[in-house]
Amino acid sequence: MRYTAEPAFILHARPWRETSLLVEVLSAEHGRVGLVARGVQGPKRHLLRAALQPLQSIRFDAVQKGELAQLTAAEAVDAAPLLHGDAAMAAFYLNELCLRLAPRLAPQPELHMAYAQARERLRAGEALAWTLRRFERDLLDALGFGLAFSMDGDGGEIDPAARYRLDPEHGPRRLLSERAGERREAATGRALLALAGDAMPEADDLASLRVPLRLVLLHHLGGRGLKSWDMLGELGRLSIPLSSMPTSS
């Protein structure tokens, strides 16, 4: 199979042998694609190397040979966002989620679009927590794991004043216990309705979405967490160790 001027985002690149790179990209028509970029370390290949940096939007040509495709050309479509600190860590998180959850060589136009939107929100300096929660929601939808946040798992309406844990298979389940540990793993009804309506909730409600959505993602990750979760620690402000969280809901 040949790729010609295929639009994609760079998720990851690492050195391979002396002069080459192994690159993972998220494309619109073919999902996640693994590329071998040969001979990119030479003095005349700096434009190609620059185009193969994480978060970069590119168009590439390649030939699929087995599991990996051989890259023949790539050019940057725009300038990648210049991110620092928490925003850079958030971008690392988006990339790791895609690397772990997006299947190879499966069309993912909705995920590609969600990634593009999150990338521009990071560029614009929008609220990081809200940017991440929206991307988590959209990623789950794109991969067929989406939840109906406007109704509970039995089809009833969400009560804004209640709290709900998120069952990865059945959706929101109303929390009946007032124990602190269970409350931490439950989102407010107001937050779920805001997420369903794509309207940023108040700060406390927004914060209540983080752990429940993380537990849903952890379920689909097979119980094996992300490196970025340990590094992010709620973007450096609130750390909940992964070891204290259950492996499924």
Dihedral of the alpha carbons of 206, 216, 235, 151, in degrees to the nearest 10: -10
Residue 105: count of CB within 10 angstroms of its CB: 15
Examine the domain organization and report whether 232 and 138 are in the same domain: yes
**Residue 185 shares a structural domain with residue 135:** yes
Burial class (CB within 10 angstroms; exposed 0-12, middle 13-18, buried 19+) of 60: buried
pLDDT at position 121, please? 98
Position 246 scores a pLDDT of 35
Query: Averaged over 68-72, what is the pLDDT?
Result: 94
State the sign of the Cα–Cα–Cα–Cα dihedral 114, 147, 136, 75: negative
Alpha carbons 96 and 101: distance in angstroms, whole number: 8
Q: pLDDT digit string (tens) for 26-60?
A: 999 999 999 999 887 765 566 787 889 999 999 99
Question: Which pLDDT belongs to residue 44?
Answer: 57
Residue 21 belongs to domain spanning: 2-76
What was the pLDDT predicted at 248?
30
If asked whether residues 140 and 51 sit together in one domain, one would say no
Query: For the whole model, what pTM was predicted?
Result: 0.89
165 φ, ψ (degrees, to nearest 5)? -85, 160
Residue 245 banded pLDDT, cuts 50, 70, 90: very low
249 occurs within a structural domain: no
Q: Give the CATH number for residue 12.
A: 2.40.50.140
* Domain contains 238: yes
**For residue 114, what is the domain's CATH number?**
1.20.1440.120
Residue with the larger pLDDT of the pair 102 and 15: 102
Tell me the per-residue pLDDT of 91-141, one tens digit each, with 9 for 90 and over.
999 999 999 999 999 999 999 999 999 999 999 999 999 999 999 999 999
